[in-house]
């Protein structure tokens, strides 16, 4: 019986630092993580999740340039990026399996995924997550939504509530039972709130690592890999005594979090996501570089969070 591996791909799987992010660049960049995942699929059931920051930012910017077409709410833009990035990952996987000569044996699909959030989540009170284009102070006063000054300039901020449940979890469970490779939860999932006998989308962005942790829990994954642009979580980041954290229990990680070792918005939500998964199920999470996914699975690289550290 194969174990289940959930791999959350960071933004650098698609766009590397300093790149404009053309489609050709994104396809090229994907080859490196996807080759590792293709090899891992021989020994593990695989779920792939991914971010969408630059892609949804571009769609927001395009919308603002153009008054000729109806503006779409953020939920729809997230759905669009799930289509775009899901296609790019899936077709790269397809080409990789063809190169490896194991194409006909694999089943794999990209799913549209929406994720329930709680309208009473305190996060709804304070939009904190910056998204989309950068404005001058004057422009920021005229745009029809809250903005905040960031290091880059003024940006739109949206709420970032906690994921409550992945709507398609039952489907995803059945798919991995049949050894389908599933690409899902793009951009943290399309955020929806329950309303009577239905859902409706909300202008929010769910953290993709937190939603990946939730899905890993809901499908009972065995290993949760958070693949990013650094080798792991670092203690004393930017200070004397800086060193990579190789292993910690959830409680130790919580202590480091409280001491402020991990920068909010980058490493903090990753450590939080890894801790949450390990606390619910007692299994293993690893934060590693995108080039080290296979080694992270083997326990040879990255920051491991597990109960017996």
| Residue 62 interacts with its own copies (CB under 8 A): yes or no | yes
* CB atoms closer than 10 angstroms to residue 247: 16
**Residues in 164-223 at the binding interface with its own copies, rule: CB under 8 A:** 167-168, 170-171, 174, 178, 180, 186, 190, 192, 197-199, 201
| Residue 11 interacts with its own copies (CB under 8 A): yes or no | no
Query: Token digits for 6?
Result: 């959930």
Each residue 108-137 as x (binds its own copies by CB under 8 A) or -, in order, gives xxxxx-x------------------x----
Locate the DSSP E strands across 18-102. Answer: 44-50
Tell which residue, 149, 194, 141, 168, has the closest CA to residue 49: 168
Supply the DSSP string of 201-264, one letter for each residue: E-SB---HHHHHHHHHHHTT-SEEEEEESSSS-EETTTSTT-EE--EE-HHHHHHHHHTT-S-T
Nearer to its own copies, 115 or 273 (CB): 115
| Residue 80 interacts with its own copies (CB under 8 A): yes or no | yes
Provide the minimum distance between the beta carbon of 100 and its own copies in the complex, in angstroms, as a whole number.
Answer: 9
Provide the minimum distance between the beta carbon of 60 and its own copies in the complex, in angstroms, as a whole number.
Answer: 10
- Non-local (6+) Cβ contacts of 17 within 8 A are 229
DSSP run (H or E) holding 48: strand 44-50
Catalytic annotation present for 132 = no
Provide the minimum distance between the beta carbon of 130 and its own copies in the complex, in angstroms, as a whole number.
Answer: 17
Provide the minimum distance between the beta carbon of 291 and its own copies in the complex, in angstroms, as a whole number.
Answer: 22
Catalytic residue among 45, 208, 214, 283: 208
**Interface residue with its own copies, options 28, 90, 203, 218 (CB under 8 A):** 90
**Cα–Cα dist 247/303, whole Å:** 5
Catalytic annotation present for 214 = no
Pairing of strands 247-248, 284-289: unpaired
Catalytic annotation present for 52 = no
**Cα–Cα dist 267/296, whole Å:** 17
Residues forming the site for its own copies (CB under 8 A): 20-23, 58-59, 61-63, 65-66, 68-70, 72-73, 75-76, 79-84, 86-88, 90-91, 94-95, 98-99, 107-112, 114, 133, 167-168, 170-171, 174, 178, 180, 186, 190, 192, 197-199, 201
- Positions annotated as catalytic residues are 11-12, 129, 208, 270
């Amino acid at each position: 019986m194969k174990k289940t591996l959930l791999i959350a791909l960071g933004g650098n799987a698609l766009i590397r630092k300093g790149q404009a992010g053309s489609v050709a660049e994104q396809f090229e960049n994907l080859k490196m993580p996807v080759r590792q995942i293709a090899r891992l699929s021989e020994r593990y059931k695989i779920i792939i999740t991914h971010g969408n920051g630059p892609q949804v930012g571009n769609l927001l910017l395009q919308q603002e340039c153009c008054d000729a077409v109806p503006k779409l709410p953020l939920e729809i833009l997230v759905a669009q990026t799930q289509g775009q990035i899901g296609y790019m990952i899936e077709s790269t996987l397809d080409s990789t399996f063809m190169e490896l000569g194991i194409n006909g044996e694999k089943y794999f699909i990209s799913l549209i995924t929406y994720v329930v959030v709680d309208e009473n989540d305190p996060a709804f009170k304070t939009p904190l997550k910056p998204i989309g284009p950068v404005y001058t102070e004057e422009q920021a006063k005229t745009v029809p939504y809250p903005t905040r000054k960031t290091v880059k300039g003024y940006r739109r901020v949206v709420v970032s509530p906690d994921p409550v449940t992945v709507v398609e979890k039952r489907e995803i469970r059945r798919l991995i039972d049949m050894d389908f490779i599933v690409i899902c939860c793009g951009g943290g999932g399309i955020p929806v709130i329950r309303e009577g006998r239905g859902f409706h989308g909300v202008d929010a962005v769910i953290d993709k690592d937190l939603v990946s942790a939730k899905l890993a829990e809901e499908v009972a994954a065995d290993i949760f890999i958070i693949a990013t642009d650094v080798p792991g979580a670092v203690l004393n980041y930017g200070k004397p005594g800086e060193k990579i954290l190789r292993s910690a229990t959830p409680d130790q990680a919580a202590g480091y979090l409280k001491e402020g070792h991990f920068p909010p918005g980058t490493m903090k939500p990753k450590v939080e996501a890894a801790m949450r998964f390990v606390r619910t199920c007692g299994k293993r999470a690893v934060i590693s570089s995108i080039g080290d996914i296979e080694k992270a699975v083997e326990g040879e690289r990255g920051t491991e969070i597990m109960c017996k550290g």
